[in-house]
Amino acid sequence: MLEIKNLHATVGGNEILKGINLTINKGEVHAIMGPNGSGKSTLSYLIAGKDGYEVTKGEILYNGVDLTEMKPEVRAAEGVFLAFQYPIEIPGVPNTTFLKEALNSVRRHRGEEELDAMQFVKLIKAKAEELGIAKDMLKRAVNVGFSGGEKKRNEILQMAVLDPKLAVLDETDSGLDIDALKVVSEGVNQLRSKDRAILVITHYQRLLDHIVPDFVHVLAHGKIQRSGGKELALELEEKGYAEYGVAAE
Amino acid sequence: MSGKAQTIEQVREFTDDSYKYGFVTDVEVDTAPKGLNEDIIRFISAKKDEPEWLLDSRLKAYRHWLTMPEPEWQKPKFPAIDYQDSYYYSAPKSVGDGPQSLEDVDPELLKTYEKLGIPLFEQERLAGVAVDAVFDSVSVATTFKHKLEEVGVIFCPISEAVKRCPELIRKYMGSVVPYTDNKHACLNSAVFTDGSFVYIPKGVKCPMELSTYFRINAENTGQFERTLIIAEEGSYVSYLEGCTAPMRDENQLHAAIVELIALDDAEIKYSTVQNWYPGDAEGNGGIYNFVTKRGACRGRNSKISWTQVETGSAITWKYPSCILQGDNSVGEFYSIAITNHHQQADTGTKMIHLGKNTTSRIISKGISAGKSDQTYRGLVRMGPKAEGARNYSQCDSLLVGDKCGAHTVPYIESKNKSSVVEHEATTSKINEDQLFYLRQRGINEEAAVALVVNGFCREVLQQLPMEFAVEAQKLVGISLEGSVG
């Protein structure tokens, strides 16, 4: 589903990624772990298509098609979802209005009929219930005045509504206490399926206790230094990133 | 945009009368000759079969107008207006002149209607297509009128009101905006062609939102409209002005006057969605919208509330104001102004506190995109007798792109130590992170901008009557088209 080949990328003229290779098949959950500044978020923004992130060499193929040629909204409609590390506030725009606009944009792109207000309300209520999200969160302006946990749950809700094929979760555990972490992880686990690929990006191993990955990769100095199974995460937890030339924080 | 029968009648009237006024007129033409002089004013007055006093007041205004300088304090600059190059009386186009079917109408215009979700027959009406649908609307308007008459509300063209209730017109017209007020208002006082008149009797809550929408079906509004709304003691009315669809006007200058009068415990809510032709993307053409709108809260506990959504016109010069004369009276101004391409807007309000414990609230949201330039200009004046008066103003500007401008010019004058004036202002650029977030969810860039801007304007949009708000939201998106990418 996702094939990253020898990816080099710059941000503001600085080379951050220096030759990444990664293949993710559908149904698989991969975790990328790495210290701060290793290029984890850069990789997620490159997949989503944020301005200012330049591919200088290599490619990102999504179902065999070059992803970097597509606008961010086209990637999203094609099934690429990024759960943001810092979800953005949109004052004055109710969460439901935003989600309806997003879902119908994606449906239009897929050649499906748009949902009307009634159909949408039914869908969103069902999804919110499955994920244990309070109704008032749907009416409030997007992420405005949300606690850290609510923001992350809102990301998972959006993921559930948009039903992506490839979901990238960027530091979804950051800023969460242990209870919130459990709730968010449960939400993600509900969305695991044999048709969906998930890429979890994290600094700490603790998230991977809840979202258990099939594969773990260590990213440092702009390259994947090592890949393995879920046990690699535990090893990192114990030894830190020192053996990859990164000083302890 | 008028009933076919009425048009024919007017054309006939005109041709019968034409020699009397010394104009050589082709039968097909129902427009006064170009230019402005006393004969033109006499012509307009005679066309409307006006009483002597009204003609005299027009002529007085005209003579004063000749001596008045153009206002020059506003930010938009434009070449001097050649007043002799305009038409001052233009009756509805005759049946043969207008487009015969939708196929004859500018496809760009139809695209806009479609986006606004306006039904087909409505599109025909707005585009001025001469079809039978117009007659349907006339009958709708008639039903509507009967319902209002039952409760004693008068809602008619101002030219009709001159005949029906001359004493009200003489008492109130020009009492809020005198002809000496400013050059544009003075011109309107001399040459106004028509407009709306509303009278709400004592204690009556007007049973429906009054809208020019109905009136336009039956009557023609000119380029120099004049509106007068009188709310007697304890009455209430909500008035909606303007179509939300663009009425492409060939004329350059639009100088209107709106006067509101609220007596004891009366409330007037006046909402406008202004979408005149803004000119093309290169800044050619478009309307100069120079409008004087003012409300007088004459009675105790009276309230006047202005809500405006301004998206059209090449140049907007407009300051809907409140004179808070009655004790405890309330003035409100809620505004959204959107400029794109080369549009220029200088808009805001004046809150003149005269009475005790008067309060006013100003919420202004300005959005500038493209190469446009926008100024919020607002005056809050606390008079020496305005004890305990309060004002709160909040002016937020949002910039889309890096070639547009936003300016906030508040004027605060206080002659009273017990009054309180608060002013808050912010200016921000549309946030790239917000746009990326929305786009990552599948929303395209233009729709993302529209969503963020709608959120920015929400506080004001909520003031609009429901069905108006929905169209206004769509309009926000349409107005910003081509502002990104």
- Verify whether the Cβ–Cβ distance B455 to A84 is below 8 Å: no
Question: Closest Cα of chain A to B2: distance in Å?
Answer: 36
Q: Which of chain B's residues have a Cβ under 8 Å away from the Cβ of A106?
A: 441-442
Q: What is the pLDDT of residue B115?
A: 61
Q: What are B353-367's pLDDT values in tens digits?
A: 999 999 999 999 999
- Verify whether the Cβ–Cβ distance A90 to B438 is below 8 Å: yes
Q: Please, which residues bridge with residue B227 across strands? A: B258
DSSP H or E segment with residue B85: none
B485 touches chain A (CB under 8 A): no
Q: Which of chain B's residues have a Cβ under 8 Å away from the Cβ of A109?
A: 442
Q: Which of chain A's residues have a Cβ under 8 Å away from the Cβ of B444?
A: 71, 73, 105
Q: What is the pLDDT of residue B440?
A: 97
Q: Are the C-beta atoms of residues A35 and A246 closer than 8 Å to each other?
A: yes
Q: Which of chain A's residues have a Cβ under 8 Å away from the Cβ of B438?
A: 90, 98, 102
Domain parsing of chain A, residue ranges: 2-244
Least CB–CB distance from B451: residue in A75, A101, A103: A101
Q: Are the C-beta atoms of residues B198 and B154 closer than 8 Å to each other?
A: yes
Q: Which of B441, B451, B454, B484 to mutate to test the interface with A (most CBs of A within 10 A)?
A: B441
Question: Closest Cα of chain A to B314: distance in Å?
Answer: 28
Q: What is the pLDDT of residue A244?
A: 82
Q: Which of chain B's residues have a Cβ under 8 Å away from the Cβ of A81?
A: 440
Closest CA to B412 of B375, B366, B360, B457: B360
Q: Which of A51, A73, A103 to mutate to test the interface with B (most CBs of B within 10 A)?
A: A73
Least CB–CB distance from B436: residue in A72, A92, A158: A72
CATH superfamily of A2-244: P-loop containing nucleotide triphosphate hydrolases (3.40.50.300)
φ, ψ (nearest 5 deg) of residue B184 = -70, -40
Question: Closest Cα of chain A to B31: distance in Å?
Answer: 48
Q: Please, which residues bridge with residue B151 across strands? A: none
- Verify whether the Cβ–Cβ distance B455 to A77 is below 8 Å: no
Q: Which of chain B's residues have a Cβ under 8 Å away from the Cβ of A98?
A: 438, 441, 451
Q: Which of chain A's residues have a Cβ under 8 Å away from the Cβ of B448?
A: 73
Q: ∠ at Cα B475 (B474, B479), nearest 5°?
A: 125
Report how far apart, in Å, the C-alpha atoms of B21 and of each of B41, B54, B70 are: 11, 18, 31
Q: Which of chain B's residues have a Cβ under 8 Å away from the Cβ of A50?
A: 436
Contacts of B473 by beta carbon, 8 Å cutoff, 6+ apart: B454, B461
Looking at per-residue pLDDT, the higher value among A137 and B131 belongs to A137
Query: Read out DSSP for B286-322?
Result: --EEEEEEEEEE-STT-EEEEEEEE---SEEEE--EE
- Verify whether the Cβ–Cβ distance B442 to A76 is below 8 Å: yes
Q: Which of chain B's residues have a Cβ under 8 Å away from the Cβ of A92?
A: 454-459
Other CB atoms within a 10 A radius of the CB of residue B72 amount to 6
3-state helix, strand, coil in chain B (%, to 5): 30, 30, 40
What b/e string do you get for B459-469 counting C-beta neighbours within 10 Å, with b at 16 or more? Answer: bbbebbeeebb
Q: What is the pLDDT of residue A55?
A: 95
Least CB–CB distance from A102: residue in B434, B443, B456: B443
Q: What is the pLDDT of residue B273?
A: 83
Q: What is the pLDDT of residue B261?
A: 98
Q: What is the pLDDT of residue B22?
A: 28
Residue A84: left if φ>0, alpha if ψ -120 to 50, beta else—which one?
A: beta
B459 touches chain A (CB under 8 A): yes
Question: Closest Cα of chain B to A91: distance in Å?
Answer: 6
Contacts of A190 by beta carbon, 8 Å cutoff, 6+ apart: A130, A131, A160
Q: Which of A44, A80, A86, A98 to mutate to test the interface with B (most CBs of B within 10 A)?
A: A98
**Mean pLDDT on A102-112:** 95
Q: What are B159-197's pLDDT values in tens digits?
A: 889 999 999 999 999 999 999 999 999 999 999 987 889
- Verify whether the Cβ–Cβ distance A81 to B454 is below 8 Å: no
- Verify whether the Cβ–Cβ distance B442 to A105 is below 8 Å: yes
- Verify whether the Cβ–Cβ distance B440 to A48 is below 8 Å: yes
Other CB atoms within a 10 A radius of the CB of residue B382 amount to 27
0.90 surpassed by pTM:
no
Q: Which of B440, B451, B473, B474 to mutate to test the interface with A (most CBs of A within 10 A)?
A: B440
Q: Which of B437, B456, B476 to mutate to test the interface with A (most CBs of A within 10 A)?
A: B437
> Strand locations in B160-209, DSSP E?
196-200
Q: Which of chain A's residues have a Cβ under 8 Å away from the Cβ of B434?
A: 88-90
Question: Whole-angstrom Cα distance, residue A95 to residue A137?
Answer: 7
- List the end-to-end C-alpha distance of chain B, in Å, as a whole number: 37
Q: Which of chain B's residues have a Cβ under 8 Å away from the Cβ of A72?
A: 436, 439-440
3-state helix, strand, coil in chain A (%, to 5): 40, 30, 35
Question: Closest Cα of chain A to B259: distance in Å?
Answer: 33
Q: Cα-Cα-Cα-Cα dihedral of B474, B477, B482, B485, to 10°?
A: -140
Looking at per-residue pLDDT, the higher value among A240 and A78 belongs to A78
- The ipTM is 0.96
Q: At what angle do helices A148-162 and A117-130 cross, to 10 degrees?
A: 120
**Mean pLDDT on A124-149:** 92
Question: Closest Cα of chain A to B473: distance in Å?
Answer: 12
B160 touches chain A (CB under 8 A): no
Q: What is the pLDDT of residue B108?
A: 62
Q: ∠ at Cα A163 (A54, A112), nearest 5°?
A: 100
Question: Whole-angstrom Cα distance, residue B312 to residue B340?
Answer: 9
Q: Which of chain A's residues have a Cβ under 8 Å away from the Cβ of B457?
A: 92
| Identity at B458, one-letter amino acid code | R
Question: Whole-angstrom Cα distance, residue B338 to residue B366?
Answer: 6
Q: What is the pLDDT of residue B329?
A: 98
pLDDT < 50 positions in chain B = 1-29, 92-98, 128-140, 213-222, 244-251
Token code pair at residue A209: 């206790």
Looking at per-residue pLDDT, the higher value among A247 and B390 belongs to B390
Q: Are the C-beta atoms of residues A185 and A210 closer than 8 Å to each other?
A: yes
- Verify whether the Cβ–Cβ distance B443 to A105 is below 8 Å: yes
User: What is the three-class DSSP state of A219?
Assistant: strand
**Mean pLDDT on A207-223:** 94
Q: Which of chain A's residues have a Cβ under 8 Å away from the Cβ of B450?
A: none
Closest CA to A224 of A91, A15, A40, A67: A40
Question: Whole-angstrom Cα distance, residue B214 to residue B136?
Answer: 11
Query: Read out DSSP for B362-420?
Result: EEEEEEE-TT-EEEEEEEEEE-TT-TT-EEEEEEEEEE-SSS-EEEEEEEEEE--TT-E
Least CB–CB distance from A105: residue in B437, B444, B454: B444
- Verify whether the Cβ–Cβ distance A88 to B433 is below 8 Å: yes
CA B53 remoteness from chain centre: 27
- Verify whether the Cβ–Cβ distance A76 to B456 is below 8 Å: no
B442 touches chain A (CB under 8 A): yes
Q: Please, which residues bridge with residue B366 across strands? A: B337, B397
